[in-house]
Amino acid sequence: MRKLTNFFLGGIFVVLTGWPIIGVVLEIYGFFLLFRGFFPVAVGFIRRVPVIGSLLSLPGIRTVNPAHTYLGEFNNLS
């Protein structure tokens, strides 16, 4: 966990020292690593929104979404 935070905060430091492109890349990488466990939950919530959920359930998008199989286990419990 500490390594992930260091990527994110290190990216901010690199931006402030004058290397904006490298810093932003580090920030984005750190952001995705920090919140990768939250993304499947967020996608599951968005799937329940009427208009956006129907778009995410289209066959082409559903196969690309890695959270689909992860959330399918929890949707079958109810």
Note down pLDDT in tens along the chain; length 78 residues.
677 778 888 888 998 999 999 989 888 888 888 888 888 888 778 888 888 778 777 776 666 655 544 444 444 444
Is the pTM higher than 0.85? The answer reads no
3: Cβ–Cβ under 8 A, 6 or more apart, which residues? Answer: none
pLDDT score at 17: 92
Measured CA to CA, the distance from residue 43 to residue 49 in angstroms comes to: 10
Q: Which of 70, 62, 74 is nearest to 53 (CA)?
A: 62
What are the backbone dihedrals phi and psi of residue 35, each rounded to the nearest 5 degrees, phi first? -110, 15
pLDDT score at 26: 87
Measured CA to CA, the distance from residue 30 to residue 68 in angstroms comes to: 23
